[in-house]
Chain A
Amino acid sequence: MSNSLDLPLVGPRRVRRTSPVLLLLSLRTLIALFVVLAFFSATAPNFLALETLILLAKHVSINAFLAIGMTFVVITGGIDLSVGSIVGLSGMVAGGLLDRGVPLSWFHVTLFPDVPVVIVVAVAVGVLVGALNGVLVTWLSVAPFIATLGTLYIARGAALLISGGETFPNLVGRAEYHNMGFPILGAGTVLGIPVSVVALVVVSAIAAYIAARTPFGRQVYAVGGNERAALLSGVPVNRVKLTVYMISGACAAFAGLIVASELVSAHPASGETFELNAIAATVLGGTSLAGGRGTIWGTIIGAFVIGILGDGLVMLGVSSFWQMVIKGAVIIAAVVLDQLQRRMQRRMAIQAQAA
């Protein structure tokens, strides 16, 4: 950015302009996206076809939802391992409400809520698990890794308990109960674009706006960058942390609804290890696990890189074993490059000063 203010520029203290290498490093995720896109469009037939890309975006959207919530948590310096279990739990809550309803035994009736109500309840369950995470992390001072590891088990157990481990199949609803329409979330389209992709565009835009332009977003970065300084500047640190875990829970629950809707059934084991993909997308997108740095757009790009890599390798017929090896290598490379960039920036700052 140019010197837009009318300020005396003091030579020795002035930060030097970004070097080309540093610029390349800072744009690495975007470059990686174009590299994988170029590679697969050259090697896999029909990769750039519109249908393929739409399908790809649909695949990516589930991980992207999780990763958006994860990004807020990681920027505060935390981590949320419970998101995969929340995916399973919210699907099971929705499945149970659609398939079995709410039996009110005193009145000998069973209540079947409408689909919008089902969605709201399922998301609320995710928010509740997130709130539990937040309370554990803040007022009870449990380390985020441990707190969310605990809720990972609790939420998964709860999902299994709802049905005794059974799957809720065929979640199309029944006309006489007025609870039809759940499959639209996973299979419906708006102007030819899947509902889940439209939802992703809307949610990521809102999330990016919150992160970049609202006081809450600024406070999220401040808490992760230096919690003590944030506290002394009047940032309600505990409330900020509680909120990010609730956002993460909501995002995960929404992803769970999409999964259940796409399959038109709810399985209690769905979403297992999803948390790892979400963390991978977040880190690949340039968010620092140490907190204080990261963007929503970076995370979205990171989710796409992982998604394209996965789908592309499948299309090329690469074995799923090799896929895992490649995915792991890409994630490690991303973090190594991130460290490299940090070190270069630091060195340049010192040089600029010593000059």
Chain B
Amino acid sequence: MSVAASAAAPDAVVLRAEQIGKAYPGTIALHAVDFEVRRGAVNVLVGENGAGKSTLMKILAGVEQPDSGRLWLDGRGVSFASVNDAASHGIGIVFQELNLCPNLSVAENIFLGHPSVRLGIDIDTGDHAAKARALMRRLEHAIEPDALVGDLRIAQQQIVEIAKALAQDARILIMDEPTSALSATEVEILFRVIAELKAAGVAIVYISHRLEELVRIGDTVTVLRDGRLQARAEMRDVDIPWLIQQMVGTIEAPATQAATRSDAAPLLALERVTLRNPHGGFLVDGVTLAVAPGEVVGLYGLLGAGRSELFEVIIGAQPDAEGSVRLAGQELAGLPIAARIRRGVALVPEDRQREGLVQSLSVAANLTLASLWQYLRGLAIDGARERGAVARTIRELLIKVSSPDVEVTALSGGNQQKVVIGKALLTRPRLLLLDEPGRGIDVGAKAEVFRTMRRLGADGLGVMFATSDLKEVMAVADRIVVMAGGRVTGDFLRHDATEERLVACANQGAAASAGTIG
């Protein structure tokens, strides 16, 4: 790469993606998206979870191939068959989920894909160690090249991941949430490195959920929403509210009932619920909380605040949890998941594909999986009763499906989410827990899901939902509980809550938890 050349044309587009489309079974991740990467600039890509950012990055880095559309590199049409292919064109990527081999050393990981060798076969370990040490110095981290990656803390592993991309002399460097595990000082160091790279003419593609970061270091911003290109702008022309507006759109806010703190006997009472982190510290740290029947409680917090873990404790998926979980006065602690479901707790997990659906089963079998006991006649499932329940649920939740016998993967993301919710509702719960119920589904489906949650609350169910989306929690919840670092750091009635107060509470424990990591 040549500094002179990049200085001559600082704003030149080095990589252009044109009309990129990509479909997976069940979802269309990208619809004809255009994206431009400028040399010597930080090109920010934002969007909510499921907006298609990661898919687009995977296509740019050769991990996935697009179904339609073209890539132009320096004005020439290109297609990348693999990550190595993209790397040979000067494109490097720092993945969101760490892609390191824990059984290999730092240096071995950094040079895994492109080792320097003598005589074509003998790995030059001395050269690797020296180069790795130099990279670590540049990143201002004292990580030994010989250290096993598995022995490093997550933040250090992320540094190694960044070093791995730097080692390839990438002209275009894609960073997918590079700061998610870094402490404030580590983020500052990373930003200095980014500034250096920028000055050297490297094009950076930067993805993050932390909007303040983006506004600070971004030069251009592209917003994706539901797999489509939503907006493109110069970062200096925009601010955070604009970004949020573009990312989220306007949530069709269902009329919230006049919320008052209910004096009724609590439906759910948590007392000093604690879950230890096997790697030290706490995932859930002494949470005491009550939910009244008919209340819709939003559980707001940043990534890693302990919301999902709290839900797992309530449903019984964390047998090592301590503390008391009472449903309508009955102690649930110690009971297996099935018994808790029978008593009226249901969970809609965060990760639909990994935790919500059985991909090899039909829509009908997925819907009734958690409530099979209701359709028994003798020892067998009564087909007519099961079909009746399935048909009713499909109708009530407006699940779009040609037949209940279709495999569940053939449905769109929003309809798959409705199947998971339907499965929970068929257990006739008194308390419904939803973990990020709006994630990765289109705006229309999202509004329907939120309407359903409000309706269930009005029917007298206790509804608790976790979200990291401010707009969502403000629009849907009667009461907002904020978590940070495993603790409850705020508890507001909706009309007392402001975005500023929620954000402040969500960041309260963040300093503390960064301290335990760093």
Contacts and interface: CB of A to CB of B under 8 A. Distances in A.
A13 B411 CA distance: 7
Size category of the binding interface on chain A: 35 or more
A320 interface: no
A288 B400 CA distance: 28
Interface in B399-427: 400-407, 409-412, 415, 423, 427
A14 interface: yes
Contact of B370 (A14, A224, A233): A233
A222 B361 contact: yes
A209 B347 CA distance: 30
Contacts of A231: 317, 337
Interface stretch (B70-78, B181-189, B372-380): B372-380
Contacts of A10: 400
A9 interface: yes
A223 B430 CA distance: 26
Nearest to B356: A229
A4 interface: yes
Nearest to B368: A218
A232 B355 contact: yes
Contacts of B315: 232
A225 B369 CA distance: 12
B355 A229 contact: yes
Contact of A235 (B338, B340, B383, B406): B338
B412 A215 contact: no
Interface in A1-41: 1-10, 13-15
A350 interface: yes
Given A215-B381, A218-B372, A232-B349, A15 B358 contact: no
B361 A221 contact: yes
Nearest to A223: B358
Contact of A226 (B359, B370, B394, B404): B359
Contacts of B380: 209, 213-214
A248 B395 CA distance: 41
Contacts of A5: 391, 394-395, 403-404
Contacts of B402: 3, 7, 9, 13-15
B28 A354 contact: yes
A346 B26 CA distance: 10
B360 A229 contact: no
A106 B411 CA distance: 70
B28 A353 contact: yes
B273 interface: no
A214 B386 CA distance: 12
Contacts of A234: 337-338, 340-342, 370, 427
A2 B368 CA distance: 21
B403 A1 contact: yes
Nearest to B427: A234
Contact of B365 (A7, A218, A346): A218
Given A214-B380, A231-B337, A350 B359 contact: no
Nearest to A233: B370
